[in-house]
């Protein structure tokens, strides 16, 4: 992934406020009747504000619009919101909306819908993940049908990023009040470029393009998502012609497709990290065990074995080129050091520490095999891990109920390019994503959440990231790679946030 320069991240952090920018321009070279995509998981809900999980966002963005969009390299650009200005103290954000946006039922989208989405839904107690980012909103003043001012209880320096991040889709106030919470979850209606034509749970999703869409029309008239959890089956669907695009294939299969003549394939480094979560209790209550588990993992070997060496190894919970990455910090692979740490705590190959370890299988390329390799590396130094397979949805459920195993292999998406959405949300125990939960870590994170000065905040995250690794609170492994195979006759432009956008699919 190319490094994103500091000026871009200054924009993303909102220190210069928002400017009127040009919307991303998707050139249309003619229409495509239909495109079928082999996809990993079904959305657990059609309420676009309900879940922050990364994979459903591609599906939801077919139906719903966000206030802000991103370019392929994560720069914030206008969408429904054309102008935005963050106050110097980060306690308010002034936004101006387009005046020509309509929902698919023909009704106009106005500042009242903006207020309903980002304030009223939270006030009335809707159980939506949107509260994670926007729970700090104290009010939204509607100045006119196309103008509003968001006001915050505490400084909210990343408010602009959140307006272009997961779950931040504008919903129709009138429609939500008409169908209720259950209707939002089962019968979606938004202002996006497509409408839902057919839906079979855990099987198929069919979208048809809105030719009255207010924005640039995508090339594809109909997009079908075939839900295929197994990566081998996704590859088979592509090679048989059942689908036109397949996501999250093995890197080995991508290399093979690249050498053939029938398909194109991409290995796209994205703004996600692969890491091992750690709990602060159970087997990992011992600091020596936590550090030993990290020292025992040969990340370079994992990259070579499962990603052809293309996956960049990481030592802190962020990726190269993003702010918050402390310079000259490294955590070395040191299996002998791991053995020494375990011996200090009375463990070793003949008396292993035992722990639970969960992984997904097919959620991202090589996840299950990666987890098995880690189990083998741990066994060599004196850690015996019992591996279980779970889904992404189960990970969230188990974590929310305190039943997640001692460790889990997981992938974390941060399409904003700001460290708050990496370490900040991973380690604030008041949020639903934290696995390593301590008062000390949470206190450090919460100070950074309300720091309005960009430079101070970024230095704080650099210090926090180094501390988290030295504390053994996380085991960062690799920058995630999104693998995409697609048939000849299509052009596909990958995005650094990992989304598959309809406007990115064009005729070859």
In the chain, what are the helix, strand and coil shares in percent, each to the nearest 5?
30, 25, 45
Are 345 and 463 part of one and the same domain?
yes
Judgement on whether residues 286 and 179 belong to the same structural domain of the protein: no
Spell out the SS3 assignment of 101-117.
Answer: CECCCCCECCHHHHHHH
Q: Please say whether the beta carbons of 341 and 287 come within 8 A.
A: no
Check residues 363 and 22 and name the one with the higher pLDDT. Answer: 363
Domain presence at residue 94: yes
Whether residue 12 is predicted with pLDDT greater than 80 in this model: the reply is no
Looking at the fold, whether 162 and 304 belong to one and the same domain comes out as no
Q: Extract the runs of DSSP E, i.e. beta strands, from 192-259.
A: 194-200, 204-209, 220-227, 245-247
- Whether the model pTM is above 0.75: yes
Residues 113, 171 contacting (CB under 8 angstroms): yes
Full domain range(s) for residue 370: 269-482
Report pLDDT digits (tens) over 407-462: 999 999 888 878 998 999 999 998 888 999 999 999 999 999 989 998 999 999 99
CA distance linking residue 109 with residue 174, whole number of Å: 10
Residue 298 has what pLDDT?
Answer: 98
| CB atoms inside a 10 Å sphere around CB 145 | 14
Report the distance separating Cα 475 and Cα 297, nearest Å: 9
The pLDDT of residue 13 is: 36
The pLDDT of residue 52 is 85
Tell me the average pLDDT of the chain: 91
pLDDT tens-digit series, residues 132-173: 899 999 999 999 999 999 999 999 999 999 999 999 999 999
- Given a cut of 90, is residue 15 above it in pLDDT? no
CA 43, CA 38: separation in Å to the nearest integer? 14
Output the domain CATH number for residue 80. 3.90.76.10
Token readout for 282 is 């159970």
CATH number at residue 462: 3.10.105.10
Is residue 140 within 8 A of residue 150, CB to CB? The reply is: yes
Q: Is residue 413 part of a domain?
A: yes
Q: Tell me: do 182 and 275 sit in the same domain.
A: no
The residue among 186, 217, 246 that closes a domain is 186
Spell out a b/e string for 117-127, using b for 16 or more CB atoms within 10 Å of the CB, else e: bbbbbbeeebe
Q: Which of 186, 201, 220 is the last residue of a domain?
A: 186
Per-residue pLDDT of 205-260, as tens digits, reads 999 999 999 999 999 999 999 999 999 999 999 999 999 999 999 889 999 999 99
Q: Assess whether 168 and 281 both reside in one domain.
A: no
Tell whether 339 and 457 lie within a shared domain.
yes
Q: Kindly state whether residues 464 and 335 are assigned to the same domain.
A: yes
Our count of domains for the chain comes to: 2
Encode pLDDT of 172-197 as tens digits: 999 999 999 999 999 999 999 999 99
Please check whether residue 117 is in contact with residue 170, taking contact to mean a CB–CB distance below 8 angstroms: yes
Question: Based on the number of CB atoms within 10 Å of its own CB, is 88 exposed (0-12), middle (13-18) or buried (19 or more)?
Answer: exposed
The burial of 442, by beta-carbon neighbours within 10 Å (0-12 exposed, 13-18 middle, 19 or more buried), is given as: middle
């Amino acid at each position: 992934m190319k490094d994103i320069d500091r000026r871009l991240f200054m924009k993303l952090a909102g220190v210069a406020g928002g400017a009127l920018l040009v919307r991303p321009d998707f050139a249309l070279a003619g229409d495509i009747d239909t495109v079928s995509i082999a996809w990993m998981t079904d959305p657990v809900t059609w309420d676009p504000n309900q879940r922050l999980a990364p994979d459903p966002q591609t599906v939801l963005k077919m139906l719903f619009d966000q206030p802000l969009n991103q370019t392929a390299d994560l720069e914030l650009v206008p969408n429904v919101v054309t102008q935005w200005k963050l106050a110097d103290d980060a306690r308010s954000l002034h936004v101006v909306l387009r005046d020509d946006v309509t929902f698919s039922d023909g009704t106009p989208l106005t500042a009242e819908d903006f207020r309903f989405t980002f304030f009223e839904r939270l006030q009335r107690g809707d159980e939506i993940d949107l509260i994670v980012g926007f729970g700090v909103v104290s009010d939204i003043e509607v100045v006119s049908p196309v103008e509003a001012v968001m006001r915050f209880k505490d400084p909210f320096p990343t408010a602009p990023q959140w307006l272009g991040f997961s779950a931040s889709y504008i919903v129709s106030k009138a429609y939500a009040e008409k169908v209720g919470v259950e209707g939002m979850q089962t019968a979606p209606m938004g202002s996006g470029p497509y409408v839902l034509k057919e839906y079979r749970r855990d099987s198929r999703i069919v979208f048809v393009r809105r030719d009255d869409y207010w924005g640039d029309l995508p090339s594809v008239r109909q997009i079908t998502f075939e839900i295929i959890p197994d990566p081998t089956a996704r590859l088979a669907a592509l090679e048989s012609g059942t689908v036109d695009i397949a996501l999250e294939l093995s890197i080995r299969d991508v290399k093979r497709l690249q050498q053939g003549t029938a398909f194109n394939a991409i290995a796209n480094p994205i703004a996600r990290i692969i890491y091992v979560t750690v709990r602060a209790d159970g087997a990992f209550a011992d600091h020596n065990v936590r550090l030993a588990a990290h020292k025992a993992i040969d990340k370079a070997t994992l990259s070579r074995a499962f990603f052809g060496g293309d996956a960049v190894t990481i030592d802190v919970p962020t990726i190269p080129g993003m702010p918050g990455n402390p310079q000259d910090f490294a955590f070395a692979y040191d299996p002998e050091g791991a053995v020494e740490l375990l011996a200090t705590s009375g463990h070793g190959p003949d008396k292993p520490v035992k722990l639970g370890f969960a992984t997904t299988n097919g959620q991202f390329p090589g996840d299950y095999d990666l987890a098995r390799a880690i189990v083998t590396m741990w066994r060599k130094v004196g850690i015996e891990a019992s591996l279980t397979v779970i889904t992404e949805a189960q990970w969230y459920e188990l974590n929310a109920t305190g039943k997640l195993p001692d460790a889990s292999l997981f992938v974390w998406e941060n399409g904003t390019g700001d460290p708050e959405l990496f370490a900040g949300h991973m380690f604030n125990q008041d949020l639903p994503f934290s696995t390593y939960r301590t008062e000390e870590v949470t206190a450090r994170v919460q100070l950074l959440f309300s720091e309005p000065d960009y430079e101070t905040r970024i230095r704080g995250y650099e210090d926090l990231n180094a501390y988290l690794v030295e504390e053994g609170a996380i085991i960062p492994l690799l920058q995630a790679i999104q693998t995409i195979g697609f048939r000849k006759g299509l052009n596909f432009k990958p995005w650094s946030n990992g989304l598959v956008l309809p406007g990115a699919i064009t005729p070859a």
